[in-house]
Chains A and B, each alone.
Chain A
Amino acid sequence: MLLIACPHCGKRPETEFRCGGQAHIARPADPMTVDDGAWSEHLFVRANPKGVHAERWCHVHGCGRWFNALRDTISDRFIETYPMGAKPTQFPQSETRA
């Protein structure tokens, strides 16, 4: 069971959280202006890196807040967690899209 540092509550066990997949995929401001290809990319295409991955997590059974995390998918080490809307302070080699 992972131990995840919620930005508001500190280190909490994984069971209190829900993972929301890849982070930093902004919903287009006006989706109707996005062409079919770009929209399907937005909906369905996600990175699956071996290494550092930026993910969304929600402390659903805690403070209920969504936040972002950089996790190494090889070691499961959390490099950093940071609030929604913020950028990570560290940018290790990351294969994820911004």
Chain B
Amino acid sequence: MLETRYRAARALPLATLPRPAASGASVSVRPAGAESRFSLRARLGGGAPTLAGLPLDAPINTVGTDGEVWIARLGPDEWLVGGPEADADLLQGRIHEALAGLPHALVDVSHRNVGIDVSGRQAAAVFNAGCPLDLSETAFPPGSATRTLLGKAEIVLIRAAAAPLYRVECWRSFSTYVHGFLNEAVFGAEGAVAP
């Protein structure tokens, strides 16, 4: 039975919240489902391997996605890779294959990280309740991703697509705080229109 449970469902920390999804008139905050994620550390040297068609030597603080797998480059030798839950083993294999011969470390952090999706016209304003970065279209365009802060929690903020849709990744035990902070920020941001 437990075997089945392991394959079927993870007990996600935000799944038991009374009001997991909050939405105002112009923004919605929604915990993401179970996904696989890997922290990739590597020294690229001269080579520029690709993964899911995405080059690993993309600029720091950018994210690429093929629709399923996303790769956020968070630092010179650090990437956060996400993909569907079911493809975890496959993804792991593909990354090792892509980096064969290069010094690297691939660590499964699927359960360390929790994702929350924030979408809507006021999404950037909601983050700016606690994130001190410039999230304007020019400063943080689609394709941006970075580690930063939201209030007192560290987050990774990912903006893969052109739509006003942001993914927050935070550590598991911070997810209640981050989720609560975003929900509170919905109240605080509505009515303030970004330029």
A residues engaging B (CB < 8 A)? 1, 8-9, 12-13, 15-16, 61-65
Contacts and interface: CB of A to CB of B under 8 A. Distances in A.
A62 B146 contact: yes
Interface of B: 60-61, 74-76, 78, 132-133, 146-149, 154
Contacts of B76: 8, 63, 65
A7 B76 CA distance: 10
Contacts of B147: 61-64
A61 B60 contact: no
Contacts of A13: 132-133
B132 A64 contact: no
Contact of A9 (B61, B132, B154): B61
B75 A65 contact: yes
Given A9-B146, A15-B132, A64-B78, 19 more contacts: A8-B61, A8-B76, A9-B60, A9-B61, A13-B133, A16-B132, A16-B148, A61-B149, A61-B154, A62-B146, A62-B147, A63-B60, A63-B74, A63-B75, A63-B76, A64-B74, A64-B147, A65-B75, A65-B76
User: Interface of chain A, helix or strand or loop or mixed?
Assistant: loop
Contacts of A62: 75, 146-148
B41 to A, nearest CB: 10
A64 B133 contact: no
Q: What 4 A-B pairs are tightest by C-beta distance, nearest first?
A: A63-B75, A13-B132, A8-B60, A61-B154
B109 to A, nearest CB: 15
A84 to B, nearest CB: 11
Nearest to B132: A13
A16 B133 CA distance: 10
Contacts of B148: 12, 16, 61-62
A13 B135 CA distance: 13
B59 to A, nearest CB: 10
B102 to A, nearest CB: 19
Contacts of A15: 132, 149
